[in-house]
Amino acid sequence: MSDAPRNRIVRLHAQEDLRLETQPPSDPGPGEVRVAVLAGGICGSDLHYWLEGGIGTIRVQEPIILGHEAAGRIEAIGPGVTGLAVGQLVAMNPSHPCGTCEFCTQGLPIHCVAMKFKGSAMYLPHQQGMFRDLMVIGAGQCFVLPEGTDPGAAACAEPLAVCLHAANRGGDLAGKTVLVTGAGPIGALCVAVARQRGAAEIIVTDIQDATLAIARAMGADHAVNTATSPDGLAPWQAGKGRVDLVFECSAAAPAIRDAISCLRPRGTLVQVGVAGPTPMPLNVMVGKEIHFIGSQRFDAEFAQAVALIGSGAIDPRPMITATFPADHAIEAFNIARDRSRSVKVQLSFASA
């Protein structure tokens, strides 16, 4: 395969052992396409794998290509594929439920017990991810965007889908007062979703002014730095609370306490952020009769995210704070870990 196209990969071998390597590209099989990746976003899970060797009990046990937020152009089509064409810009859905387990057959594919999620170390063998020049993937996992869509924006379909699922779990946002705790990529996109769905007032909190400024650009009405303005939420804590719904995107105990203090009685807390064991003010939650809703990943929301980005109804580009060529992947990961200056950092692969 000396004349094969270049296929760089960003592969993690062990904790803090991230390497840019090459491997021969694969040909698409029946029902598959090969995508020339243009942009891939570094997610918090990628950072955890790199810095800590895993997430909680999920450990990296073999070399794994990272990345599950990516978009590119179809470069080759396998047998039996219809509805897609070479050259189309697509966002790639990393999620592939089995379709036959007890949860899939109950209409809950998010909870598939045999989920294949690109770039995930949950199972052995690990599911290899999307940080590579050429990606072979099922045609059904590719969603076409209009010509002229920015590939970096298209690569944000996956985190936007997470936020759309959280919003769907939380219910109608029209006319509501919404608080978003944590102004990272998920928080910024939750702000954008709340704005697009007609929230009357959106407050966002964080401990970094730079990330709060991005959240304002994504549609927040108020930005509160809880580190420098510990009383900044007072207007929404008045009485028994003024906030109808919270998207809690930090999983930090102080942010959760702030969220509960701002929620009105029978308000809704949608927990989007995840971490280790986190104390919850259960007595206050019970006293206010708070609705607590967990939210993880997405299903049909991926197609919805692609449609919103493709139409321009939601523009994720303000949160893309840096883009690095794939050859500078380690530098990109180091920038991405610095929340004082980064929201979403992306890698750029083949030229558009």
pLDDT (tens digit per residue) in 83-101: 999 999 999 999 999 999 9
Give the separation between CA 328 and CA 118, rounded to whole angstroms: 22
pLDDT (tens digit per residue) in 9-26: 999 999 999 999 999 999
Mean pLDDT of 61-79: 98
Indicate yes or no: pTM above 0.85. yes
Which residues have C-beta within 8 Å of that of residue 223, sequence separation ≥ 6? 183, 203, 204, 205, 206, 212, 213, 215, 216
Q: Higher confidence at residue 121 or residue 56? A: 121
Report whether 41 contacts 344 (CB < 8 A). yes
pLDDT (tens digit per residue) in 101-157: 999 999 999 999 999 999 999 999 999 999 999 999 999 999 999 999 999 999 999
pLDDT band at residue 32 using 50, 70 and 90 as cut-offs: very high
pLDDT band at residue 1 using 50, 70 and 90 as cut-offs: very low
Whole-number mean pLDDT of the chain? 95
pLDDT band at residue 277 using 50, 70 and 90 as cut-offs: confident
Query: How high is the pLDDT of residue 182?
Result: 97
* Complete domains list, the chain, with CATH: 8-156+316-348 (3.90.180.10), 163-294 (3.40.50.720)
Mean pLDDT of 239-250: 97
Residue 351 has pLDDT above 70, yes or no: no
Give the separation between CA 42 and CA 46, rounded to whole angstroms: 6
